[in-house]
Chains A and B, each alone.
Chain A
């Protein structure tokens, strides 16, 4: 079941056979991280992203059980569409999800986003060159666009983007490295 194509999982759920519960769990396991990231990007909040995961997975399970997913091969499209709709509704109403407790248990959110230790982040930020650090903080901490940063630092927006990408990659390498190596 862990290797089955998503369309097969959707069909197994619709058929309601013995392997349906495993198919439901597997489908939720695969899509939860995608919905969570979508929520984080578009709702800008971890708690609301977790709510989105649950609401969208509930909708998926209900639709799959009822055989309402028209094209099981494009279940990813169904998920994106549902995520967009639910996120839009959450933005409007600030509503939290509620409903079927049994379904909610299956649609339990996955592991939250990797938590980066503050101390490690600072250690790695210090290892970057000054300009790289500024670009990162202005981008993500001050929420300034590449164009704004370009003006502030008197470099081109293309350079800001390149520097930002390189700096994120460098931060990742530093954060992933064993502590002894770069201590």
Chain B
């Protein structure tokens, strides 16, 4: 019952990361359907990959923040109002920063889009349509994560608020990150 020619662990990780080409992916699929051992190995990689995928989206709701805090996440929350331009520290003992992009009237909002660019270069960092938003609190919560240190630190976060029968409104927050 032991596989004579098991798929390399590195290949399984590439497979789950979506970094194999079509032919390589098909070859892995074929092997897995014929092999219980490699299926078990693949499941172990998949479980971790799925857990990381499920971890934390860039934009979330207050309830999700509270839930993570309850689970023991070390979260620092910073509040911003439109037009703010401020530095924030990602302290070494924090798991997550929450940027509360507030001061918004979201009563009639149907959709909120988020666009993040670098202040210095104008480079697009992230462009997410229809982000979750907290209508009652008039805010959007950004989950700033440690691995974002790889992205530009000087971010302009621009929210477009779409409501019926009115042109979209824009609110802009400039957040300069320092990863400590």
A40 in contact (CB, < 8 A): yes
Whether A169 pairs with B9 at a CB distance below 8 angstroms is: yes
A102 in contact (CB, < 8 A): no
What 0/1 readout, one digit per residue, does chain A (140-175) give for beta carbons within 8 Å of chain B? 111101100100110000000110110011011001
| Known contacts A38-B29, A76-B34, A165-B9; A140 and B71 CB within 8 A of each other | no
A34→B45 CA distance, assembly (Å): 14
A41→B24 CA distance, assembly (Å): 14
Nearest B residue to A35 via CB reads B33
Nearest B residue to A152 via CB reads B150
Residues of A within 8 A of B160 (CB): none
Min distance, Cβ A24 to any Cβ of chain B, angstroms: 18
Residues of A within 8 A of B43 (CB): 33, 37, 113-114
Residues of B within 8 A of A121 (CB): 51-52, 55
| Known contacts A119-B71, A165-B10, A168-B45; A139 and B33 CB within 8 A of each other | no
A106 in contact (CB, < 8 A): no
Min distance, Cβ B28 to any Cβ of chain A, angstroms: 9
Residues of A within 8 A of B44 (CB): 114, 172
Q: Total interface residues on B, using CB and 8 Å?
A: 42
What 0/1 readout, one digit per residue, does chain B (45-63) give for beta carbons within 8 Å of chain A? 1111111110110000000
A114-130 residues at the B interface, CB under 8 angstroms: 114-116, 118-119, 121-122, 126, 130
Residues of A within 8 A of B147 (CB): 133-134, 136-138, 141-142
Q: Total interface residues on A, using CB and 8 Å?
A: 49
- From B16, B17, B29, B40, A80 is in contact (CB under 8 Å) with B29
12 extra interface residue pairs, beta carbon distance < 8 Å, beyond A118-B55, A141-B55, A146-B14: A33-B43, A34-B33, A37-B39, A133-B146, A136-B52, A136-B147, A141-B56, A146-B17, A161-B13, A165-B10, A169-B9, A172-B45
Can you list 29 pairs linking A and B with CB atoms under 8 Å apart? A30-B36, A31-B33, A33-B36, A33-B43, A37-B42, A41-B29, A76-B33, A76-B34, A77-B34, A79-B33, A83-B33, A114-B44, A116-B48, A116-B51, A118-B51, A118-B68, A137-B52, A141-B55, A141-B147, A142-B147, A143-B53, A145-B19, A146-B14, A146-B17, A162-B10, A164-B17, A165-B9, A168-B49, A172-B48
